[in-house]
Amino acid sequence: MPKELNPEEIPALWCRMWNEDASLAHRLLTADGRQWSGTKPGLDPLVGPADAEAFIAKYQREVGNVFVPRTFVIDGAERLAFTWDVTRRDGVVITGADLCVLSGGKVARNWTIPSPEGRSTLPDGPGEGSLDRDGLRALATDARPWRGELVLDPVRQTIAGTWSDGARGGLAVLVAVDGRVDREWVVPGTRPLP
């Protein structure tokens, strides 16, 4: 039996799963693991690693995008988020974000959204400063209409979460420097997130 994954390992393995090895779904997802896309509904009905593996293998054959993780937001062993770049077969690069809720070292819930605006030129994290979890939470309070628990990373001075304005949802990753939001990736979906 493989050892429990450290949350720091998940973004690289998650991208590898989508790039080349769909069978990693069995190592990365819980038995009832769910994924949702904020732009296309194909992932939404899938439950568990077998469904994910089949979907991802087909995606690799038909679409063939290559994902590379960028900025990490690690909130203990319970939540993580990361931004990523994806290079399409036509060479276009797009930035997006994922947010994961973890259970027993595996992904139980995942939200993923590519940006409609192309590749972000914002520099990657981490941020700088000494805000604790409460300070990061306070900094993020009015930044977005958040849904669910925020991902708070005092070590990297980063914050991530899902948001909804009532008509659509999205993901946002904020990087703090000296107690203020220095840069922010806001990735809107085209429909509400569950």
Q: Which is it for strands 79-87 and 169-177: parallel, antiparallel or unpaired? A: unpaired
pTM value surpassing 0.75? yes
Q: Are 190 and 168 in contact (CB under 8 A)?
A: yes
Rg (CA), the chain: 16
* Residues of the chain below pLDDT 50: none
Residue with tokens 């994902």: 67
**Secondary structure (3-state) at 174:** strand
- pLDDT at residue 36 in the model: 87
10-19 and 48-62 helices, crossing angle to 10°: 50
- pLDDT at residue 39 in the model: 75
